[in-house]
Amino acid sequence: MGEADHHQENGSAAPGENGMDPIAAADAAKMEANAHFKEHQFAEAVEGYTRAIELTPSNAVYYANRAAAHIHLENFGCALSDASRAIELDPKYTKGIYRRADANVGLGRMRKALTDYKRAAQVNPRDPDLRKKLAHCEKEVKRIRFEEAVATPDEKPAAEELELSSMPVEDSYDGPMMEGNEEGGYTLTRDFVVAMIEHFKAQKLIHKRFAFQILTQARDALAKLPTLVDVSIPDDKHITVCGDTHGQFYDLCNLFELNGLPSEDNRYLFNGDFVDRGSFSLEVILTLMAFKVLYPQHMHLARGNHESQSMNKIYGFEGEVKHKYNGMMADIFKETFWWLPLAHVLNRRVLVVHGGLFSQDGVKLDDIRAVNRYREPPEEGLMCELLWSDPQPGSGRAPSKRGVGVAFGADVTQRFLQDNGLELLVRSHEVKDEGYEVEHNGYCVTVFSAPNYCDQMNNKGAWIRFSGKDMTPQFTQFEAVPHPNVRAMAYAGNFYSSMLGM
């Protein structure tokens, strides 16, 4: 974002702190917020801009700056609101206009973004950065319209077009090999997966034949599952619940080194957002899917809001797959993600979902079971809210800070759990400084497993272990580890990276 603009203020100001002139106090708060922003302390930046707004509520700059901080926090709903307020205060303030466009890009609403980029370009036609954003957005909208025009409702799934037998493993291939079987194909083994992880650590890819086999076998395993999966953990066993991993493969490897690889005796549930942002998303998802194939009853994968085509186009996964393999694999990943379950219930006591709860009371587990998940997430309804909602302090419900889903309070959580005979809600979806957070009087837990998220948030990662006997959550934190010098969202393209502050 850089230094905030100096901008003419209008209207009256509230009394300043300690008798300071309110305009001067607001400017001091803005400067403090700018410093936090430069240090990637975006939540603190939001607090500083909020103090400035409270002191001088008619300054468009403060709203636009706060919108920029919200975009980094992925609070796109708040960013849209702030940018719109900046535009109301000064209709010709270019940064207010294109910050609203940037927020719509973050939500995948490219047509709305294009409208604002065009408007901003009319106000400031010589801004080279703005002209570049406009050109890229126009190109993206044209691509979307073309895809909509050629799409057919009875289009054959990409996985049905795949012929593994047409992918011979060349003698020149020097990576890990699956075991041959009597049918002339290959069998996935634990030894292969362990060797594959080491191969990935060395920044090498496995042969496309093996990558496609992992993907299609995982797809078949997921397609057999219901939308809500009931998981039974015996008294003498345990399960580890992990939150977002977001393409941070080397941190995933560290997690496995600390807590053990998945096995029949070491159950895992990864709670969505495996991909995007981090630039080793393919390595993450192939590793997790391989373990799902090996241990279908003991390795559980849930869908997050980033297991969707619109997010994958924006945040890098689609570009990464096409760069490392090809477009067909990207298409099959899209279809495979559609089969990911939306919820898990552990020992009939703990509900695990990626996002959160609902905009209405009375939702039962059977309502979740009845959701048709084999599709792209809609912008409203149960499926959307399971993937996008967040807890809020206090009670009741409020519009989501993200612009999608709903914010739900402690009373909503406790009422839902009581209605469904449950004891705890576990969800992910949000960066937490300590890697986890317990809210809503202990009834709602957030877990996030991508430490130093996007190489800039300085947060810890965490996981939760539940023993089958008492199902009491036990938290373990871990720090980020070094990774090769590949920046986050390296495959998203300059357009999306510049929109989202990477």
Catalytic residues: 306
Taking residue 364's Cβ as centre, other Cβ atoms within 10 Å add up to: 11
Cα 216 to Cα 346: distance, rounded to the nearest angstrom: 27
Q: Would you call 55 helix, strand, or coil by DSSP?
A: helix
45 closest CA partner among 77, 15, 22, 79: 79
Cα 466 to Cα 266: distance, rounded to the nearest angstrom: 11
Cα 225 to Cα 223: distance, rounded to the nearest angstrom: 5
Taking residue 189's Cβ as centre, other Cβ atoms within 10 Å add up to: 14
Taking residue 351's Cβ as centre, other Cβ atoms within 10 Å add up to: 22
Cα 270 to Cα 289: distance, rounded to the nearest angstrom: 11
- The answer to whether the CB of 345 falls within 8 A of the CB of 364 is no
User: Bridge partners of 239?
Assistant: 267, 466
Please, is 446 exposed, middle or buried when counting C-beta atoms within 10 Å of its C-beta (0-12, 13-18, 19+)?
Answer: buried
User: Bridge partners of 263?
Assistant: 266
First CA to last CA across the chain, in angstroms? 11
Residues with Cβ within 8 Å of residue 316, at least 6 apart in sequence: 247, 276, 277, 279, 281, 488, 489, 490, 491, 492, 496
Cα 349 to Cα 447: distance, rounded to the nearest angstrom: 17
Host H or E run for residue 499:
helix 493-499
- The answer to whether the CB of 340 falls within 8 A of the CB of 302 is yes
